[in-house]
């Protein structure tokens, strides 16, 4: 049973947000691509046939940058369902979401917590307009009691925190993954889950972060060959 589809209001809201995100991504990618409209349409078709690990190099080869640029990929419905179900499995008391944007992933986390009847997702975002959209969506879906929103620079926000978390989802500028994780690590409980998006589409930028996890004696991790590449780790 797909529990997300049982909540029609939320399902409709997420569908609308995903559509807007897809349109925005398409427009930004087209602006970066130097070829014709026909060539761009063919590029989009090719992209859809690629394995996840091929996508990052494909975009860079065609002059389309994902992270640390104008183009930033929002999570897909499939990634959202993964986050939702993983939250149901983990049953966390507290989730830290770094880079919440307009709150698409926030809604998936919060709805899972609503199903469980407990927990909190701490959302962080520096863009005021995105924060306003996030909070509007959270409130309209009746999920405000499961979300704390921190506005402002994510590094300053994390540095001021002293609570502990059962999960962290990292989806900020890829070049900042290492620095932000080094600040977050002390906040993670034993058994906490680490998730980081865009490991394939921003492979060069996330490499220092990936190397840290791969060589960390207190973390077991792997890259899931899924979507844009998702790093999955567990604090031992």
Domains of the chain are 3-61 (no CATH), 77-235 (3.40.50.150)
pTM listed for this prediction: 0.92
Locus of tokens 């983990």: 90
pLDDT of 70 higher than 70: no
Beta bridge partners of 193: 167, 234
pLDDT of residue 35: 87
Please, which pLDDT band fits residue 55 given cuts at 50, 70 and 90?
Answer: confident
């Amino acid at each position: 049973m797909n529990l997300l589809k049982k909540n029609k209001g939320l399902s409709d809201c997420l569908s609308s947000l995903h559509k807007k995100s897809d349109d925005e991504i398409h427009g930004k990618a087209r602006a970066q691509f130097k070829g014709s409209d026909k060539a761009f349409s063919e590029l989009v078709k090719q992209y859809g046939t690629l394995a996840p690990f091929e996508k990052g190099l494909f975009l860079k080869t065609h002059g389309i940058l994902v992270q640390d640029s104008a183009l930033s990929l929002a999570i897909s419905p499939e990634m959202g369902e993964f986050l939702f179900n993983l939250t149901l499995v983990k049953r966390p008391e507290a989730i830290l979401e770094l880079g919440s944007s307009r709150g698409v992933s926030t809604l998936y986390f919060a709805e899972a917590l609503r199903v469980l009847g407990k927990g909190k997702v701490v959302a962080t975002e520096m863009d005021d307009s995105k924060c306003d959209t996030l909070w509007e969506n959270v409130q309209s879906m009746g999920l405000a009691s499961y979300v704390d929103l921190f506005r402002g620079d994510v590094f300053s926000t994390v540095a001021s925190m002293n609570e502990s978390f059962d999960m962290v989802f990292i989806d900020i500028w890829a070049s900042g993954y290492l620095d932000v994780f080094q600040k977050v690590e002390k906040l993670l409980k034993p058994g906490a889950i680490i998730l980081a998006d865009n490991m394939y589409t921003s492979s060069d930028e996330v490499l220092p972060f990936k190397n840290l996890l791969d060589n960390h004696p207190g973390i077991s991790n792997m890259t899931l060959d899924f979507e844009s590449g998702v790093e999955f780790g567990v604090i031992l």
